[in-house]
Amino acid sequence: MAEHQLPATPETTVDVFDRTTPPVLTIDPGDSLVVGSLDAAGYLERRVDGPTMIPGRRGHCLTGPIEVRGAEPGQVLAVRFTSITPADWGWTTAGVKDTPLNRALGVAGGPGARLTWDIDGDTATSNLGHTVGVAPFLGVIGVPPVEPGPHSTIPPRAAGGGNIDCRDLVAGSTLFLPVTVPGALLHLGDGHAAQGHGEVGGTAIECSMTTGVTITLSADPVLPGIHAETPEGRVTFGFGVDLNQAMADALAAMTTWLQHLFAVDQPTALALASPVVDLRITQVANETWGVHAVLPHGAIR
């Protein structure tokens, strides 16, 4: 299997999902890549008021698309993260947008807050002197919608993923994405050095990232929708403008997985889930809310 290097350059970055965008790299299933990505804004210098890779960008600065030979709708793309390494600095903003959540918190319409961070190993230190632990992951892993035309990178989608913002997708995880278009056309980016479940302020510690991945294809996945296996456990997802519906979708997928694992009916799967499955608010920052269900490894024996 081949190994590829894909740095973030003006020729390899985009700010929308579009099935007509020519691939910047074509790989075979089983190939490995080291992908460079800039922070969500695409800053080219170590400052938040500096120049960006894509002036007037419409969404996240993403690296791709990456074509996978033989990928067709109906299959599932398996993206295994072998390493995720943040750059040495990042930034966080909060209260800078007029959103329903910011209005409820009383921070909409004000000056907002802007932090910059020095990232050193397992620790990030803000310009105010506060320190937090680092647990890097990519916020955006996705393929284009089947519909033609440019599509925003901001909302996550049940078909194809995108701005999932799941902090559990650390190195050692495998994310399974439904293939929506021929070749898959995978995009990666929106590096986060640290983020709480929910991404409550609207941004994480946004940073550039160097990510090692191995890409494979599955024609017979255990679940047809987005799901993952992480160092902690099995994960299923739900997305929607209604948090209750997102929760129900994540739980329905998890009970289906439990049915496959233990050869039980759905009510029994739900009964097994209740003592051990966690429901977590993935993010509330991206127009479409996310919930993920987590079944820890070894929780049911």
Q: Which of 15, 100, 44 is nearest to 289 (CA)?
A: 100
Exposure on the CB side of residue 214, measured as CA atoms within 13 A: 10
- Supply the pLDDT for residue 221: 85
Which whole-number Å values give the CA distances from 155 to 37, 151, 211, 230, 290, in the listed order?
19, 10, 22, 23, 10
- Supply the pLDDT for residue 49: 86
State the Cα–Cα distance between residues 203 and 182, nearest whole angstrom. 32
Same domain, 212 and 148: yes
Which whole-number Å values give the CA distances from 5 to 25, 61, 110, in the listed order?
9, 18, 43
Residue 301 lies in a domain: no
Same domain, 10 and 66: yes
- Supply the pLDDT for residue 279: 98
Residues 6 or more apart whose Cβ sits within 8 Å of residue 195: 135, 137, 139, 165, 167, 204, 205
Same domain, 48 and 195: yes
- Read off the CATH number of the domain in which 28 is found: 2.60.120.580
CA angle 70–74–79, rounded 5-degree value: 65
- Supply the pLDDT for residue 110: 83
Total domains, the chain: 2
- Supply the pLDDT for residue 174: 97
Residue 14 lies in a domain: yes
pLDDT tens profile 112-169: 999 999 999 999 999 999 999 999 999 999 999 999 999 999 999 999 999 999 999 9
Same domain, 155 and 231: no
Q: Is the pTM of this model over 0.85?
A: yes
- Read off the CATH number of the domain in which 260 is found: 3.10.28.20
Of 191, 218, 245, which marks where a domain is finished? Answer: 218
- Supply the pLDDT for residue 43: 97
Q: What is the pLDDT along the chain (301 residues), one digit of tens a residue?
A: 899 999 999 999 999 999 999 999 999 999 999 999 999 999 999 998 899 999 999 999 999 999 999 999 999 999 999 999 999 999 999 999 888 899 999 998 889 999 999 999 999 999 999 999 999 999 999 999 999 999 999 999 999 999 999 999 999 999 999 999 999 999 999 999 999 999 999 999 999 999 999 999 987 888 989 999 999 999 999 999 999 999 999 999 999 999 999 999 999 999 999 999 999 999 999 989 999 999 999 999 9
Residue 13 β-bridge partners: 63
Domain that holds residue 46: 3-218
The string of DSSP letters for 242-292 reads SHHHHHHHHHHHHHHHHHHHHT--HHHHHHHHTTTPEEEEEESSSSSEEEE
- Supply the pLDDT for residue 6: 98
